[in-house]
Amino acid sequence: MNSLGLRRTIGALVVAVGVTAAVAGCASTGGTGDTGTGSGLTAADAYRLGCPAVDAVTAGGSIANQAAVAGLEGLKQNVRLDADSTRFVDAALGLLRSDRPSEASADTKKLIIDQCREHGYRLQNLR
């Protein structure tokens, strides 16, 4: 992994830990996780967390994998996601949990690549 990939992996880990802590705080106070509850979490956090994690895992790294899965699961449970965000989170979780992420279906890869691009993140490793 090159230095840019390592920085993205570390960045994903930092975001994952922060999101996981925020989701845990939200859950402990009974909030729903949307911006109206004061948690500050939004559907955009799914892409900030999921895209770099998918990129890192498909590059062969798994440093941020467990934290990313926990963060995405927390977001899915505590943030009101629209249909596109829900499909993205489900696809990203499936890929992150897979023993062979590079063998994900063409439809799954296309969905993840397109959604990440749409939200400002161009994947380097998922093709």
In a domain, 28, yes or no: yes
pLDDT of the chain along its 127 residues, tens only? 455 554 555 555 555 555 455 444 444 444 444 444 446 778 888 888 788 888 777 766 566 677 788 888 888 888 888 999 999 999 999 998 888 887 889 999 999 999 999 999 898 888 8
Q: Which two tokens stand for residue 58?
A: 């498909």
This prediction has a pTM of 0.65
Amino acid 125 reads N
Q: Is residue 33 part of a domain?
A: yes
Is 127 inside any structural domain? no
Give helix then strand counts, H and E, for the chain.
5, 0
Phi/psi for 41 (5° steps) reads -80, 140
Residue 14 lies in a domain: yes
Backbone angles phi, psi at 8, to 5 degrees: -65, -40
Q: How many domains does the chain have?
A: 1
Quote the domain boundaries for residue 11: 3-118
Sorted by sequence, the CB contacts under 8 Å of residue 12 that are 6+ apart come out as 49, 52, 53, 55, 56, 64, 67, 68
